[in-house]
Structure 1
């Protein structure tokens, strides 16, 4: 989280980190308790990443990219689907019958989302935004990830201005809950 560079470089690095965590989950046998530890970590990263995209990336796509509204709406729908899966996963332990099904579905959804962003959305944005604008978006995304929630909130708003107003408060509460529970701390 928080790598530097323009918005596309920042988000692609996040994508690689998520894929690495998915690999760690896949390398462990079903029921292994560390699968839940990594599922929590990947959820934390995905929520922060999604909140930052919703606050800054998708509005920029809507503003600058031809057909940007449709692109952004499709990405928001992907986020909503993934967020509901993560919410369902939050209540499961690694040994629960539903855990493996939900993790597999989350991985499939996120991998398709990443392929779409990297194959369509990012090239379209790079083609129309000057480098300094992409750099400014990268900085905004990094700042948003620092205060973003770490737990899924499927009912929360996903478009400005409401998301920009509510997410820092939800993020503070989530980080407090994480600190008290130890969620995301072992490795």
Structure 2
């Protein structure tokens, strides 16, 4: 199933949208790990790795453009979690770039995917356990924000599909 076809669902709110993204990328990382253990072919590995990179790139973009901006406003004076998230996104983007620019034959390819998975897992845990609860209780209009984020996500996925 392609990213675009999975993205037609409409989230109830921004936090639910991001949580669904987290679940989806965990599933993709698990599939990649299973592919490694099954000694899957390079074409399969690259296709799945690029899907992971696409999903993470789109997710990070909508978080940075919408969610983190709203979080900074709602948590004024207590923005440490957002600052850390921004730095973690920068690290993830660097790994994504390395993955996209390489191929499964690269001896570090699988290691990069593993490190990215571990990095994303830690980041997701911080968001879901700390940032999301703070924002949910802050009065943030998560429904309106979710609609804007979903629309931007769909636009980004369409742009990326057109660039392929």
Q: TM-score range by the shorter chain?
A: 0.7 to 0.9
Aligned partner of 1:115 in structure 2 is 125
Aligned partner of 1:22 in structure 2 is 29
Secondary structure of the corresponding residue to residue 97 of structure 1: coil
Secondary structure of the corresponding residue to residue 128 of structure 1: coil
Question: Are the equivalent residues in 2 in contact too, given 1:61–1:68 (CA < 8 A)?
Answer: no
Query: Where does structure 2 lack aligned partners over 5 or more consecutive residues?
Result: 1-6
Select 1:98's aligned residue among 108, 114, 119.
Answer: 108
User: Is residue 2:56 matched to residue 1:49?
Assistant: no
Question: Are the equivalent residues in 2 in contact too, given 1:48–1:145 (CA < 8 A)?
Answer: yes
- Correspondence 1:58-77 to 2 at 5 A: 58-77=68-87
1: distance between equivalents of 2:56 and 2:77? 25
Aligned partner of 1:10 in structure 2 is 17
Secondary structure of the corresponding residue to residue 79 of structure 2: helix
- Correspondence 1:120-135 to 2 at 5 A: 120-129=130-139, 133-135=141-143
2: distance between equivalents of 1:120 and 1:82? 20
Aligned partner of 1:156 in structure 2 is none
User: 1:3, CA displacement in angstroms?
Assistant: 3.7
TM-score (norm 2): 0.86
Query: Where does structure 1 lack aligned partners over 5 or more consecutive residues?
Result: 151-170, 179-187
1:133-164 CA-partner distances (Å, limit 9, x unpaired): 1100100110111223x6xxxxxxxxxxxxxx
User: Is residue 2:97 matched to residue 1:87?
Assistant: yes
